[in-house]
A and B are shown apart, each in its own frame.
Chain A
Amino acid sequence: MANLFPRWTNFLPLKIAICAGAVAGGAVLAFTYYATPKTLAAGYQPSQPIPFSHKIHVDQLGLDCRYCHSFVDVSGHSNVPGNNTCWNCHQHVQKESPKLQPLRDRMDPTLKHADFGKPIEWVRIHKAPDYVYFNHSAHLNRGISCQSCHGRVDQMEVVHQENSLSMGWCLECHRAPEKHLRPLEEVYNLNYSDADVSKYSKDAGVKTTVDLGLKLKEHWKVAPKESCATCHH
């Protein structure tokens, strides 16, 4: 009987195994790298019902974060402003802008729009899972800036998620808070840098924000917790 399988098939099972292994290994590696918050969550930049520009309002006009996010330093939750906050100015300013039409529909009774009196539904960008308890006020009142988590929102035309907000990322700061601690006066200054340090310390050895952070950590007895119940309960 003739050989049914030619000689080259002798190593076929091994080749198949190697190929399959490589594919599987590749898939695992790709999954562990790409299927993480760093890849999946950071950079998320949905479009909003009104293309609100933080760059115009914060950088050019100089509004403080707390003008709109008014309870961020008293509540765990950072509130998104209600329509009446926008309407305070925009019933007088940019009255014709088509971008603001959804706001006028909701706030201007003379338009008699079906949406009158309804809130605007903004798309959520930063989201911690339900089983995570994060408190804004606990951080802001102890010298952690908005910028540490949200990035330079004042420079963003359209807001995107800057950081992964993964647990590992949270713990990086909880283990070394000095990298982000700053004087309470600078918490809402998203442009804080080494140049600002001299305002707060006469000590020649304190040159960088990290140097000042280390001092503050000791002086304010900042001891961020790492136990599970800090964020999960």
Chain B
Amino acid sequence: MSKRIWHHPEVPAGETTVSWRGVGQLEDSPAFRSWLDREFPQGVAEMADEADAETSRRSFMKLMGASTALAGFGMAACRRPETKIVPYNKAPEWVIPGKATYYASTMPRATGATPLVVTTFEGRPTKLAANTLHPDAAGTDAFAQASVLDLYSPSRSKTLLRQGQAAKRGDFEAVLAAVAGDKAAKLGFVFGRDVSPTRTRLAKELAAKFGSAKFYAYEALESSAAKVLGDGVRQLADFSKADRILSLDCDFASLDPQGPVTPFFDRRKPEGKTYAGKAQPQAMNRLYAVESAFSMTGGMADHRLRVAPSQLLVIAAQIARRIGLEGLVAQIAPLADAKHLEWVNVMADDLLQSAGKSMVLAGSRLPESVHSLVLAINAKLGNIGDDKPLRHVRSEAQGLGDIAALKADLEAGAVDTLFLLTPANPVYDAPADLAFPAALSKAKTVIHLGSRTDATAHAATWHVPVSHYLESWSDARSESGVYTVVQPMILPLYADCASELEILSALLSDDGKLVTGEGAEGKPSPAHDAVRKTFEGIAAKGSDAWSKLLRDGFQAGTSFETVEVAIPNAPIAAAPAAQGVEVVFATDASVYDGRWIDNGWLQEAPDPVTKQSWDNAALIAPETAKNLGIYDEIVALETWNGATGPDGEGEHRSAPLITVAVNGVELEFPAMISFGQAENTVVIPLGYGQGFDAEDKFGRNAQGKAPASHVGQVGVNSGFNAYPLRSSTTAYFATGASVKKTGRRYPMAVVQEHHAMYGRALAREISTIDSGDHKGGFEEQLHNVKLQGNDGHAPPNISLYKPEGKDGKPHLSDPLHQWAMTIDLSSCMGCNACLVACQAENNIPIVGKEQLAKGREMHWIRMDRYYAVESGNDFDPGNPALVPQPVACVQCESAPCETVCPVNATVHTEDGLNAMAYNRCIGTRYCANNCPYKTRRFNFFDYNKRNPLVAHNLYKGPFGEKQVGTAPHLQRNPNVSVRMRGVMEKCTYCVQRLKDAKIRQKRGQKQEALLAGKASPDSEVTTATLRIAVDSVKVACQEACPADAITFGNLLDGDKSTMVRAKGSDRSYDLLHYIGTKPRTSYLARVKNPNDKMPDAKWVGKATIHMH
């Protein structure tokens, strides 16, 4: 019998939306088609031909026979290995072995601290979640989720270094004590841009003790907004008050926060945040975005304009002109492009109509001129004020010099002992024209505190490993300035670690003694005393207030002081004319400015837009690539007979290397096509290329500045360093670049075509307006959500599955709980927070670049990213809609995977989960083959035991190197099995959390009996006793989501559950409904809220993704 081949549904006649995931698919290449038919990239999982398969099978049997026979001789398995139980010597208070304890803490960050609740098991922090009590709580992002891995990372700096060589702590303590004793010492301190009240207080004391001490702040990606707003002043956006939002290159939803972002997403849901009402488009906000390359915010926009960075000032000027600020912008050239002019004018009119309820946000990387102009525009629109969407606040971090001042002071000899306490890496990431490394060598002693042995650590006299924020006492201010405490979960894992406050405290003490972690006789760290003293100055004295702070994590009622900012009224100068190709130096979604390069979870998480992992690439719009003559090469590689392999996919995928020359420096980067990017623009993410070893075949360390010692095993040979192209005047945007082909290629790991689904109308989108086509008005589109794609005309399925078992009991028999989920595409921006949270919760390993390129990534959540454009779009066909769609196992009630498993390793539970019994799985992979959603992941190797980051290690089998270090297993969630090689795995709705909640609920029976004073057999047990409270259990992805896009709950709770209300929405649809799998996860169609007067309005809200 021949194999039945699935034929993709034909494209229907009336189809106007063109949607794609990758370039190959857009070009509809034969290679892409064959990719769709297969589960894994070619050559990864199959034998080359029949003969090969036959011999392999035979040799396999021979080997297995021999090894079984040999196993008999040893009988090693017969004696049970002796294992030990090691209880506490003195049991600490509050710790219950086997049960999680939760503490409130904070991750300090330059953009405002992220308030967290930390899950700890027997003192080990394992998982982070947002502290929802906190007024600034807005979920978490991928960085916050991944930060717990850094604590245990084998790449973490563990020992003191002196001039790059291991040193003794005693020697460093002596140096520090000498500095502390010398009140005339010319000290310099470089802090990060995060705000810590205690650090500010100690800095003042240091200034008093050391008369000539100087203070600076430095981060690689600093905003120029403060230069306009004033020292320490930042702008704070309240998205709940904004009906119209314009983002000028501002990725406020993800990488460039401007205020707690959850309220923005609440207003992307037409039914309201809790799905309580009917869908009302007027309740939604409207987002306009003007940007050069797709950001997560731009992907959410109702109207998006792509322009080169030099045009952003011109566009801001046009808005100013339109709303009556002509005087300010007389010097700036008018907007030349007629289409853009109309777009901007209509948009400005809309902002004007919503004056007082709108906001214009300028990206932090924009030049001062745009920030001034935007400030004036917001003032003119009346958007600034106490009850208005925008206000300005001043933090206590004032009077800090910048890196240019530091360089000047170093060269003038005003600083001879420098403390580099910033999380940035100035030797690597300072603007190239500053020649910072040369200035640094002028200081007599440089003491660097950092978490990695990076370039700065090696350039410094002393490198001190920093305590992780989960190991140290500190405090921070969240986005609106709420005082938030950082408390340690565990003592520093390594004895040499010190925190910033501990070093400052040592300098302030008389003897200069450095006390870290814990003082003598269990006395708390001096950082604790310092924080407590600060807190007593801010709130109340006494232990009650302090205990409450430690419990809640923050002090209610505290905030930054609101200030009034002078509104610019002088004419704003025009920018010099742009020539040549423009370059944007972008924040990277995986490594930020380079500080996360040694974090495996972030490196492996695909970039939300390009879907590239482990590297960066120069991104170029398709038309520009064609003009440069590299488009064909990229597409050729993705289509037919690539240069390095049979089809240039999977492990053979590569990208052409181009050179980008700007500011007098020429560097090589691999090039990638990026849709929706402005023409004539190259976008280069920063932060890569920090260290290379002998495995690097591309000579990226030609200058010898980036040896492997600067990074750990994760970051080595990763990407290309773009910092040398940056100067202090062109920190983010440069013009006059030239781009050339080199003819060489670079291997890439891009997941955009892995695990692609077939079928129709995967992600659905509707618009709130009637654009005059057959789709009708909002009500009609809403009604038709469930009928899009095949679902409109496929006859209802008749299921061959019986809903009950042989014993007549229904399969889904649990009368207490039936779990289900919804994912709202209207608020999902595709930021990867859920993906990384899932990795932390479920012990998901990383597999490394080589394995990832082969399609063997293990992420349980696949963050699909689709592009779609309407055929006939005459406004800008090069500006497609970007639709993200997270897909994890949807827990089909009629699951195709279950019927094909030969060993019943994947079966249904009574409460509606599609369970995986890992210990039962024999690895046939039939289930993954039969999964229409492609959500199952297979452990091709023992990723948990063998280190996938050592080159070629996995293929050495038992001779390979084991996971390095003793710490990584400490992060593991003890309630989730660590899977071994040859086992299939997938999402099971965090079944361990559901179990925990159910068991906790059952304990209530005993409590009730005790309270009632009755004998237990007489106590009443009802459904209410055993069913967990409505919406009381949250799964890891839902908990992490800053957009509240995921709801989860019990179907039997009815309308009391947010999830059930969301499922009842007209926007709710099932993925691949027509194949009859009855998934428990349903999706809510994305709603775009366009302005019907805009020239591009009729092309908006049509991006239903049809994959044919």
Contact = CB atoms under 8 A, between A and B. Distances in A.
B86 interface: yes
Contacts of A143: 1016
B87 A120 contact: yes
A233 B1015 contact: no
Choose among A74, A216, A219, A220 the residue with the greatest number of B CB atoms under 10 Å from its CB. A220
B96 A119 contact: no
A142 interface: yes
A122 B87 contact: yes
A50 interface: no
A183 B975 CA distance: 29
B988 A233 contact: yes
Contacts of A101: none
Interface stretch (B144-152, B242-250, B583-591, B915-923): B915-923
A138 B1002 contact: yes
B701 to A, nearest CB: 42
Interface string A28-67: 0000000100001100101000000000000000000000
Contacts of B1021: 219-221
A81 interface: yes
Interface stretch (B2-10, B454-462, B660-668, B991-999): B991-999
B256 interface: no
B80 A84 contact: no
B92 to A, nearest CB: 9
Given A71-B97, A71-B98, A219-B1021, A124 B91 contact: no
Given A75-B99, A233-B976, A141 B917 contact: no
A184 B1019 CA distance: 11
A107 to B, nearest CB: 8
A216 to B, nearest CB: 6
B390 to A, nearest CB: 47
A212 B1017 contact: yes
A82 B87 contact: yes
A119 B92 CA distance: 13
B999 A119 contact: no
Contacts of A35: 78
Nearest to B1016: A184
Given A141-B1003, A221-B1026, A119 B80 contact: no
Contacts of A122: 84-87
A74 B96 contact: yes
Contacts of A73: 1003, 1006
A133 B917 CA distance: 12
Interface string A208-233: 00001001100111000101111011
A124 B977 contact: no
B96 A75 contact: yes
Interface in B963-1009: 975-978, 988, 991-992, 995, 999, 1002-1003, 1005-1006, 1009
B810 to A, nearest CB: 13
B652 interface: no
B82 interface: yes
Contacts of B222: none
B1021 to A, nearest CB: 5
A191 interface: no
B913 interface: yes
A84 B999 contact: no
A144 to B, nearest CB: 12
Contacts of B920: 228, 232
A91 interface: no
Contacts of B919: 129, 131, 232
Interface residues of B, number: 48
A183 B1019 CA distance: 10
B1005 A228 contact: no
B977 A233 contact: yes
Interface stretch (B33-41, B298-306, B531-539, B902-910): B902-910
A228 B1015 CA distance: 34
A229 B988 contact: yes
Contacts of B988: 229, 233
B83 interface: yes
Contacts, number: 153
A25 interface: no
Nearest to A71: B96
A135 B913 CA distance: 20
A184 B910 CA distance: 26
A130 interface: yes
A114 interface: no
Nearest to B122: A77
Nearest to A41: B80
Given A79-B97, A129-B919, A233-B915, A137 B999 contact: yes
B1017 A44 contact: no
Contact of B89 (A77, A83, A135): A83
B1017 A141 contact: no
B90 interface: yes
Central interface residue in B98, B991, B1006, B1021, by most chain A CB within 10 Å: B98
Contacts of A46: 82
B913 A229 contact: yes
B1006 A201 contact: no
Interface string A13-38: 00000000000000000000001000
A43 to B, nearest CB: 11
Contacts of A106: 89
A215 B905 CA distance: 34
Contacts of A135: 995, 999
B73 interface: no
B88 interface: yes
A82 B977 contact: no
Interface string B916-934: 1111100000000000000
B1006 A141 contact: yes
A131 B919 CA distance: 7
Contacts of A131: 918-919, 977
A45 B400 CA distance: 68
Interface string B1011-1030: 00001110001010010000
Nearest to A140: B1006
Contacts of A44: 80
B999 A71 contact: no
A227 B1021 CA distance: 23
B907 A79 contact: no
Contacts of A138: 999, 1002
A133 B975 contact: yes
Contacts of A12: none
A112 B167 CA distance: 32
Given A71-B99, A117-B89, A221-B1026, A228 B1017 contact: no
A119 B910 CA distance: 43
Interface in B69-123: 78, 80, 82-91, 96-99
A80 interface: yes
Contacts of B86: 119, 121-122
A84 B91 contact: yes
Most-contacted residue by chain B among A77, A80, A119, A229 (CB, 10 A): A229
A141 B1002 contact: yes
A201 B992 contact: no
A129 B978 CA distance: 12
A46 B83 CA distance: 11
B907 A228 contact: yes
A73 B98 CA distance: 12
Nearest to A118: B89
Interface of A: 35, 40-41, 44, 46, 71, 73-77, 79-85, 106-107, 117-124, 127, 129-131, 133, 135, 137-138, 141-143, 183-185, 200-201, 212, 215-216, 219-221, 225, 227-230, 232-233
10 contacts: A71-B98, A76-B999, A79-B96, A82-B91, A83-B87, A183-B1017, A184-B1006, A225-B910, A227-B909, A233-B988
Given A84-B90, A135-B995, A185-B1015, 5 more contacts: A119-B88, A124-B82, A131-B919, A137-B999, A183-B1017
10 closest Cβ pairs, A-B complex: A77-B98, A229-B915, A184-B1016, A228-B917, A227-B909, A82-B88, A131-B919, A82-B91, A75-B98, A138-B999
